[in-house]
Structure 1
Amino acid sequence: MAAVNVGRRRKLRINARTRVVVSSMSTLTRIKLHFSETFATLLSPFTLLSWAVCIVVAVLAGPFGTYAGMNLQTRLVYWLVIVTIAIVIGHAARAAAVALIGPRRPILFDLVAATLVVIFLSPVIRIVRGVTEPSLDGLSLISIGLNTFVIAAGVFVLRRQSGLEQPGSYWVKPTEPEAPVPRLCRRLSDEFQGEILRLSASDHFVEVTTVNGVETLRMRLADAIDEMDPTHGYCVHRSHWVAHSAVVGIERENSHKLFVKLSNGDELPVSRKYRPNLVNAGLID
């Protein structure tokens, strides 16, 4: 029996689809997490294709006077360096904007990200341009910054409108009144906002499982359940509460052991004390 319980606990941990993050984590830890997630796409096929296309177009078109002031080989080196550094800085700017602003304010998010690109990329452009074209005089850092801002802002707007950044619009008009949100959602980080599937007690913490992952909050299970109103759900165990909408089935191991199956694949034990809750709901006979 003990072996079965251990196996079930392991299965539950494996079925949790994403990382558990303690809400009291430091700002530095959150920033590191956002940077790690953002830079995971740095070598994605889409990013590499964009990198190659931008270099080819820039070398052939020679914008900002590079066609007249540089030969083909110099333009190739110049734009290879600039586009590569710009993509790295763009990823860093996006990660910083996620950590500082969050996804709920898209206009401010894109403005901050574009401004960060200007701050760090403009000096690089000025230095590289001076090295590849020493005879060029009067290249203003301000003019470089303005051009960089226009391009960076355009890239972030394009990402949002094409669905690569959420929300995909700056002005979202709700077609119908939003459903009441449980008070517990206010405690969740932006990346874990979404429909809550279950609550599980672990020592002095509560694991809140949403459709976007699992976050751990320092609070009592009873208080967390109280903050789930008006979401309808059931206690199935002294350590577990599930939302009614998340239940997809019941697994019966034997006449005495039941497990409730959730839409994300988790399976939670149903104790004898709380079985009447599911009987009254018509989920089990």
Structure 2
Amino acid sequence: MRERLAQLSLRLGPPLGLGLVLGLIGPFGTYDLLPAAARLAYWLAVVSMNWLLADAVLRRVEALAGDRLPAPRLTVPVAGACLAAVPATGVVALANGLSGIGWPGNIAVLFGQVLLLLTAIALPVYNLESMEAQNAARPDPATPEGVSSPHPSSGEKAPQPGVDGLSLFQARLPGPLGGRILCLEMQDHYLVVHHSGGSEMILCRMEDAARELDGLGRRVHRSWWVAADAVIGVEREGQRTLLRLTDDRRVPVGRSFRPDLKAAGWL
């Protein structure tokens, strides 16, 4: 329960904080159009709903086209903001009508305002999360070189994570692990644990899971972690780099993760 509350606070804390700030300063004429209480309620509702909407769209854009777009730290959040601005404009129009501000007379102007706000939010948030993911993917400097190599020599056993870390991760699962861990896939604030016996979803941050399973594998993408002994090949599709796993799954490799993976001998 404590973990669920922590995840919920991490998810809702930033939009609620931003909504509170916008409610106090009243941009786009809302300071004069709405009394203080109504203005706070308006901005808290609009920012929270559109933040969650934009977050879902942005993650989808990153998963589908993050490795194909040039300058992804710029183009991914901008593309996500542009796509999310369409339904978000509808949310704002509905909020305006219900709050008494009035239904928008010029949808194009409203769309531009919503797009500007979403872009201003998406750019720093996406880049901050990307840097955190990249830092989390870097191996511990104290870890011996080659400990997470996906292709250990024939005379060596595959590296295993610390017993405490693995136990902590297994405790997150609803039951005993049904097979050998292959990879983890981030879906919103959940993780899908893919193993040789199937897949199951748990509520967990990728950063926490990667830390607990340190030594067994690596982050290869903002949304993917892969076990070292699950990798059987590397494939390329145009500009995309993919890891082929023992279950014939193809996992994308993020651009920002490639240097560390090359240095570790994965690519």
TM-score by length of 2: 0.46
TM-score by length of 1: 0.44
More RCO (CA 8 Å, sep 6+): 1
Computing the radius of gyration from Cα coordinates, the structure with the larger value is 1
